[in-house]
Amino acid sequence: MPLLRSFRLAKLTQVLSLALLSCALAVPAAQAAPKKDAKKPVAAAPASAKKAAKEPAGKARAAAEPKAKGAKVAKGKQDKAEAKVAGKKGSKAAVVAKAEKPEKASGKKRLAKAGAASAAVAAAAVATSVEPARQSYGQMAGLHSVSDPLDLQSSVAYVIDQDTHEVLLSKNDQAVLPIASLTKLMTGLLVSQARLPMDEMITITQDDVDTEKHSSSRLRVGTTLTRSEMMHLALMSSENRAAHALGRTYPGGLGQFVQQMNSKALQLGMKDTRYVEPTGLSSSNQSSARDLARLVAVAHADPLMREYSTSHGYEVAVGRRTLQFNNTNRLVKSDNWDIGLQKTGYISEAGRCLVMQAQVSGRKLIMVFLDSAGKFSRLADAERVRHWIEAMPSASNSIGQRIRG
């Protein structure tokens, strides 16, 4: 008996050891099994298992079929629902894919379209940032709505016979408007009549630089010319710095010069005229067509004014350079015109302006055109008047009554 007990205990010890070893080996295998299944597909069932699955026991098969049908119906509904959702997602995905496909397939076209769109946006931004063109005083006053038989583009027109003072054409002639560089006629007239030394050297300073309209000039600060040259450039090519330098170097200074400009205007009977500076860059320099006709008549009597305002071009030596200046009125070069005095002017508030003394069909005429709408329309208006005068009967005493605006 003791011997049998010791044998049983030894046997039990071996069994327990084997059991513990089996458990130790089974735990890692169980942990590794899911990873293995996830990576590899499930192995095919043996043929016997397939056969057993195809041929289940009668009752078990009968019980399993209703469950299988129910599961199949439920699965069918679920599949339809999933298919519907998938269809919606698929359609959205298709739309996105359809939209993305051309972009990937045609990158250049997409970049071109993007570039065009960017350019359009930039152009729109520039267009919105650019301020609209400023209206002239005449446009704001509605003067352009006044018609005339010659269909002039200037809102103000005035043509008289210089010898008889007969008014040949009148359109808004009493309107008081900015006159721009027509101002320089009075500037030149005062300098000429003051009998100042014309060979005196005058230097352009910072004071002559335009701070009103910030216009450019070919006469740099430090440029030195004679008073005669300054006056020539001011009248012929409408040089603003030259005109300002003439007023600044006038005896008594610029303030005294502006005062003399207004005194001279009153002396000539120019009751609608006012000056604040000698260039015309300020819109506060204003006058009427009738007043300007008076000024043209007086200025035409001055030989220096006639010569300087009608010369075709003029060269001045500035240091080592020679600068060529041209007349701002191209009509002075035309064989169709015999111009004795002229002056052009422009700032946005005044529009395009022109005054002239000219002989047409043997008659000395004074023409005034203010606030013309286009760049060359003031010259075209002068041409219309010339053709009209040339086609006119030699003797007519009622012209002034026929052409009035």
Choosing from 136, 181, 309, 377, which is the catalytic residue? 181
Phi-psi region of 204 (alpha: psi -120 to 50; beta: other; left: phi over 0): beta
**Does 89 qualify as catalytic in the annotation?**
no
Question: Are residues 154 and 370 in contact, defined by beta-carbon separation less than 8 angstroms?
Answer: yes
**Does 184 qualify as catalytic in the annotation?**
yes
Choosing from 154, 171, 184, 377, which is the catalytic residue? 184
Choosing from 154, 170, 238, 283, which is the catalytic residue? 238
Residue bearing tokens 């009554």: 401
**Does 361 qualify as catalytic in the annotation?**
no
With helix as H, strand as E and coil as C, how does the chain read?
A: CHHHHHHHHHHHHHHHHHHHHHHHHHHHHHHHHHHHHHHCCCCCCCHHHHHHHHCCCHHHHHHHHHHHHHHHHHHHHHHHHHHHHHHHHHHHHHHHHHHHHHHHHCHHHHHHHHHHHHHHHHHHHHHHHCCCCCCCHHHHCCHHHCCCCCCCCEEEEEEEECCCCCEEEEECCCCCEECHHHHHHHHHHHHHHCCCCCCCEEECCHHHCCCCCCCCCCCCCCCEEEHHHHHHHHHHCCCHHHHHHHHHCCCCHHHHHHHHHHHHHHHCCCCCCECCCCCCCCCCCEECHHHHHHHHHHHHCCHHHHHHHHCCEEEEEECCEEEEEECCCHHHHCCCCCEEEEEEEEECCCEEEEEEEEEECCEEEEEEEEEECCCCHHHHHHHHHHHHHHCCCCCCCCHHHHCEC
Residue bearing tokens 């002989």: 359
Active-site residue list:
181, 184, 238
